[in-house]
A = this chain, B = another copy of it.
Amino acid sequence: MPENKLNSDTRERILDVAERQFMAHGFEGTSMRMITSMADVNLAAVNYHFGSKESLLCEVFRRRLTWLNHERLRVLDDLEQQAKGAPLKPSQILEAFFGTLMRIGEDESLGGMTFLRLLGRTLTDPAEFIRAFFAKEYAEVLERYKLALFRALPDVPKAEIVWRLHFMLGAMSYAIAGTDILHVITGHGIGDMSGKEEDEQSEAKKLSARLMPFLLGGLRAPLPQFSDSTRPQQVPLAKTARNQPQEKKP
């Protein structure tokens, strides 16, 4: 055969197919034979190139997360340099963290929605090696952004900020994963694969535009009244009120 794929191609094809299959069926629900047959490579190719199924999953993530987390740190660095030591605004921090993520969904070469969905699902996977992998991979970024939020919201107890960072990660993961109860309401499924990538990119944009205000609203919500150290509930709300859905209550 004239094709020369000595140094590549197979590897990338395995990663691409694995990414899609892990997204659609989960790690345990995806077999090596599904991956290798769909990628048109031999069964042994995965073990040859990656060593094991677990390592394959990690590599699927690493090739995307390396860019993502570097970019997140770079954007945060830029913001902090521009601010010249002043605390950043919460909206800037969220935009840097979640906006950077959403850019992946808009760019197929960065993984697209397929990778975003895989990420959303895998973040809650109970398997130990997965949690350990993410812990290592995310440690620096989370620490940096956590500190940035502490500085941005000096009057909010740190524990509260950590909780809300937690909630925001959850809202994002779940929203991204896509296959869930919500479709009971809206009535349309997601389609496991080949989901017409034509407007997947705009789908990411729409999701981002809707998720960001929600996260910001949650992050800056009034604190629970009984806060243990009883910090007065300084409420930094309504700085950027455009059109607020009103409630008939205080």
Q: How far is the CB of A224 from chain B (nearest CB, A)?
A: 5
Contacts A168-B171, A180-B131, A240-B191 known; A245 to B162 CB distance under 8 Å? no
Give bound CA distance, A221 to B26, whole Å: 33
CB contact list, A212-231 vs B, under 8 A = 212-226, 230
> Known: A89-B249, A126-B121, A126-B179. Contact between A224 and B209, CB under 8 A?
yes
A52: interface (CB < 8 Å): no
Main secondary structure of the interface of A (DSSP, over half): helix
B185 contacts A165, C-beta separation under 8 Å: yes
Shortest Cβ distance from residue A107 to the other chain B in the assembled complex, whole angstroms: 18
> Do the beta carbons of B169 and A172 come within 8 Å of each other?
no
- Kindly state the separation between the CA atoms of A6 and B210 in the bound complex, as whole angstroms: 55
Cα A246 to Cα B87 with chains together (Å): 13
In the complex, chain B residues whose CB is within 8 Å of the CB of A203: 232
Q: Is B124 a contact partner of A180 (Cβ separation < 8 A)?
A: yes
> Is A91 in the interface zone, CB < 8 Å from B?
yes
Which chain B residues lie closer than 8 Å to A25 at the CB level? 126-127
Q: Which residues of B contact A182 (CB under 8 A)?
A: 162, 165-166, 169
- Report whether A142 and B185 are in contact in the complex, using a CB–CB cutoff of 8 Å: yes
Q: Is A1 an interface residue (CB 8 A)?
A: no
Q: Mask for A113-144, Cβ within 8 A of B = 1, else 0? A: 00000001101111100010011001100110
